[in-house]
Amino acid sequence: MSTHKLTAALSIFAVNFGCLAAGPNLGKPIDAAEIAAWDISIPPDGTGLPPGSGTPAQGASIYAQKCAACHGENGKGAANAAVVGGAALTNGIDTVKTIANFWPYSTTLFDFIRRAMPYQQPRTLTNDEVYALTAYILALNKLIGENEAMNAQTLPKVKMPNRDGFIPRFPDKL
Amino acid sequence: MKNLEAVAGNGLLDRRAFLRGGAALAAAMTGYTLAGPASAEPLADDPWSRAPGTNVPAYGVPSRFEKSVVRTLSNPNGEPRTQHGRTPHHLLQGTYTPNGLHFVISHAGDADIDPEKHRLVIHGLVKRPLLFTLDALARYPMVSRMTFVECGGNSAPLFSREPIQASVQALHGLASCAEWTGVALSALLEETGVDPKAKWLVAEGADAPALSRSVPLAKALDDAMIALYQNGERLMPGNGYPMRLLLPGWEGNMNVKWLRRLKLVEAPAMSYYESRTYAPILPNGKAYQFYFLQEVKSFITHPSPGLMLKAPGFYEISGIAYSGNGRISKVMVSADGGQSWAQAALHEPVLSKAFTRFRVPWNWNGGPAVLQSRAWDEAGNVQPTRAQIIAVRGQAAKVPRVTAFPSQHYNGVTSWAISSAGAVSHVYA
């Protein structure tokens, strides 16, 4: 066999081998539709935001019913953190971090409410309810207008005040 | 005996003094370690020597006399908020943390997962999305490594402007070390294939809040593991049963417990915990982001607050050192508040990104002393003094509760003052 043919044969072998990989191959192929219910991370550009929409007014009534017991009336805090207000971060390294004074991206609010709230019944809110609560909290903090609806198009465009307040600690690790 | 001469102020002895053994050394030690003649009462058999003992249990638990060796709980009644269990370093020795005492932070309780039904999915920017059962993962080649896991908020009380009087468990108990065994994540990613566009992966748990963190792909391919075993047995529920992501040397919160999903992506998700919680505020109002690394650190566990020195004489000072950057290369100990230092003996083997036990013999003269330890790692990093870290990171405006987190990622020196009465307290020196 010429060197050329040997190389070709080896590369075909490598391709076949590559398809199967060298390991035990005990993973079961799964498609996007089967993963959909778990595929809930929403990055800052809004990729993956679901259909639906909600306004601050709609959010206010859901908040009173499902959130106020822990987070206080009108978002002012109770046993758990306030969702409105926040001091200047220059007040001290122990300044309480809030949505308004700290969170860099509005999408994190949607992502966190949808995945983790209400604390006792996570992932029971509809997408419309999550949009509405997100809109309510952003409006309480005057980060959007009182009548502005949040949806897959509008939410990623909300610029949070502290977006540029961060310094990567070890840029070489990224 | 030459080796028993002090090598640093306030009675620190050569670290090799007690490693050589022998009669001459024992005799030399007698002056300050051996008590006087044994009690005048003649020896007799105690009750446990005169009858058979208890039945051997199916799963052993410590002696009934060790009931105080437990974690301290921040939220024992399970109120709807985070629960912390802290490791009692002052009551342990060596370098492994027993599984029942490994620190735990659970943001909504410990998930109670049926291992038969648990699934791990790897998807996103891969060639073939794959689902793995625990049975499938258990058939892969296993890797084992000793590594510490430390909460990014461990030691946060040292950001207080006043030293908070608390035990080493309260101050530094959110770090533990175990031998973890599981499947190298790189082996699974070889099977899914990785799209060249992928730069990060988003890890997510199967717990109620579906805790999620973004991890640079480079770390995932370096030394990340899907851990299934902890000190030889399956993971404890509080440590992620039946599987967790293990990222040796990196912030505890990123070592996602109850792992169910890894999604390869181009950019970080900016989840709640990375964009908010583990981003410490700096004095100028900016904040560090993507801290990730647990930097070189040490603290003395013996003695420490709550342990009394009953009389002047010989004691061993010992503690724990570790670095997310690799092996510990050196630990220095001071008994005079940092004026002079003695090199500590390091318990072998010294492993990368694992607890390293250090020891220094000490002849306490009964006077006031201030004990400190300071560690170096093989990458050349040195543990900062408290003054050095505070100069960069600031200190809290208010004196916090000991269980609060006024900031994150404190790795500065800890100082213990010894009073003439032998009591140990926390000081800044």
Position A44 confidence tier, pLDDT thresholds 50, 70, 90: very high
- Is residue A152 classed as helix, strand or coil in its secondary structure? coil
- Token match 């992932």: residue? A123
pLDDT of residue B30: 31
Residues of B in contact with A28 (CB under 8 A): 130-133, 136
B222 in a domain, yes or no? yes
Q: Residue B386 falls within a domain, yes or no? A: no
Model pLDDT, residue B253: 98
Cβ contact (<8 Å) for B276 and A165? no
Query: What CATH number did the domain enclosing B124 receive?
Result: 3.90.420.10
Query: Cα separations (Å) of A64 from A69, A77, B37, B47?
Result: 8, 12, 74, 65
A27 part of contact set with chain B, CB < 8 Å: yes
Please tell me the predicted confidence (pLDDT) of residue A146: 97
Residues from chain A contacting residue B281 (CB–CB below 8 Å): 89, 92-95, 97
User: B210 to each of A31, A32, B84, B111, B280, how far by Cα in Å?
Assistant: 21, 19, 18, 10, 23
**How confident is the prediction for chain A on average, in pLDDT?**
90
Instruction: Work out how many CB contacts closer than 8 A connect A with B.
Output: 194
pLDDT tens-place string over residues A122-152: 999 999 999 999 999 999 999 999 999 999 9
Per-residue pLDDT at B4: 72
Give residue B265's domain range.
119-148+178-277
**Which pLDDT score, from 0 to 100, does residue A10 have?**
41
- Give a yes or no: residue B240 inside a domain: yes
* Residue numbers of chain B with a pLDDT score lower than 50: 1, 22-36
Q: Which residues of B touch A95 (CB under 8 A)?
A: 281, 397
pLDDT band per the 50, 70, 90 thresholds, residue A14? very low
For residue A1, pLDDT over 50 is answered with no
Contact B394 A93 (CB under 8 A): yes
Give the nearest partner residue to A166 out of B136, B216, B287, using CB atoms.
B287
> Does residue B135 sit within a domain?
yes
Query: What is B182-222 written as a DSSP string?
Result: EEEHHHHHHHH-B-TT--EEEEEESSTT--EEEEEHHHHHH
pLDDT on residue B22: 43
Q: Please list every residue in chain A whose beta carbon sits closer than 8 Å to the beta carbon of residue B395.
A: 93
Helix locations, B329-408, DSSP H: 386-393
Minimum-distance CB partner of A35 among B123, B132, B139: B123
Q: What is the pLDDT of residue B175?
A: 98
Domains defined along chain A, listed by start = 53-162 (1.10.760.10)
Report how far apart, in Å, the C-alpha atoms of A87 and of each of A94, A135, A139, B275, B400 are: 11, 21, 18, 18, 17
Q: How confident is the model at residue A23 (pLDDT cuts 50, 70, 90)?
A: confident
Q: A91 and chain B: CB distance < 8 Å anywhere?
A: yes
**CB-neighbour burial class of residue A7 (10 A; exposed 0-12, middle 13-18, buried 19+):** exposed
Residue B236 lies in a domain: yes
Pairing of strands B356-364, B313-322: antiparallel
Alpha-carbon distances, residue A98 vs A60, A87, A101, B63 (angstroms): 19, 8, 5, 47
Residue B133 lies in a domain: yes
Say yes or no to pLDDT of A103 above 50.
yes
Residue A18 pLDDT level (bands cut at 50, 70, 90): very low
Q: Which of B387, B409, B374 is nearest to B152 (CA)?
A: B409
Which phi-psi region, left, alpha or beta, contains residue B224 (left: φ > 0; alpha: ψ -120 to 50)?
beta
Domain count, chain B: 1
With contact defined as beta carbons under 8 Å apart, do A108 and A163 qualify? Answer: no
User: Does B216 touch chain A if contact means CB atoms closer than 8 Å?
Assistant: yes
Residue of A nearest to B132 (CA): A27
In a domain, residue B211? The reply is yes
What is residue B40's predicted lDDT score, i.e. its pLDDT?
72
Length of chain A: 174
- Answer yes or no: are the C-beta atoms of B426 and B166 closer than 8 Å: yes
Question: Does B3 reside within a domain?
Answer: no
- Chain A, residues 114-173, CB within 8 A of chain B, namely 115-116, 119-120, 122-123, 165-170, 173
DSSP state of B293: B
Whether A12 shows a pLDDT value over 50: the answer reads no
- Count of other CB atoms within 10 angstroms of residue B403: 14
Asked if B318 and B357 count as a contact pair (C-beta separation under 8 A), the reply is yes
Angle between helices A106-116 and A127-140 (to 10 degrees): 130
- From chain B, pick out residues whose CB is under 8 angstroms from the CB of A43: 265, 267-270
- State the pLDDT confidence band at A17, using cuts at 50, 70 and 90: very low
pLDDT at position A8 is: 44
Residue with tokens 């010429």: A2
pLDDT, position A173: 84
Closest Cα in chain A, distance from residue B139 (Å): 8
Give the ipTM of the model, two decimals please.
0.91
